[in-house]
Amino acid sequence: MTTIPTGGLLRIALGLDAVMSGATALALVAASGAIAAITSLPAPLLLACGVLFLPYTALLAWGLTRESLPRWLVWVLAVGNAVWAVDCAVLPLLGLVSPNGWGIAFLAAQAVAVAVFAQMYLTALRRAARAA
């Protein structure tokens, strides 16, 4: 099977990911300076992440309008979310950013949320393979 129906768990994952990514994008683009002041994370990094989330959110919203998605695209979503989770954890550990407690909480929340989305996409892939 080269496509996966966008019903069930995949639809839920796409919808939740779109809502969370869209809300985060709007917050980071509109208030990256204020969020930087609260979290001690670099404002340019926050703004860049917000800008990156805009087309990502559009992709997820587009996916919600389809009856099925290519399997490779769902893999890209799963791997991309997993990489984002690792990045959120690794940035402060490598000393690339020096967040305060709020910044660590922000990064941890991001890491947990996207790790959950990655798992949801992987589970949807497994279920689709079993159903085929």
Confidence of residue 1 (pLDDT cuts 50, 70, 90): low
Confidence of residue 120 (pLDDT cuts 50, 70, 90): very high
Quote the pTM value.
0.93
Residues making up the chain, counted from first to last: 132
How many domains does the chain divide into? Answer: 1
Domain span at 59: 3-131
Confidence (pLDDT) at 14: 98
Residue 81's closest CA among 64, 60, 98, 100? 60
For residues 130 and 107, give the distance between their C-alpha atoms in angstroms, rounded to a whole number. 35
Whether 103 contacts 33, CB under 8 Å: no
